[in-house]
Amino acid sequence: MTDTTPEIERMVRKRLMALSGAERMRMGADMFSAARRMILASLPAELDDAERKLRLFERVYGESLPIESTERR
Residues 57 and 69 in one domain: yes
Q: How far is CA 28 from CA 3, 21, 34, 64, in A?
A: 22, 11, 10, 24
Contacts of 9 (CB under 8 A, 6+ apart): 2
Range of the domain at 2: 1-42
Within this chain, do residues 10 and 31 fall inside the same structural domain, yes or no? yes
Look at the chain and report how many structural domains it folds into.
2
Taking only the tens place, the pLDDT of each residue in 25-39 is 999 999 999 999 999
Q: What is the pLDDT of residues 4-22, one digit of tens each?
A: 999 999 999 999 999 999 9
Residue 6 exposure: Cα atoms within 13 Å on the Cβ side? 0
Beta strand residue intervals within the chain, DSSP E: none
Is the whole model's pTM more than 0.85, yes or no? no
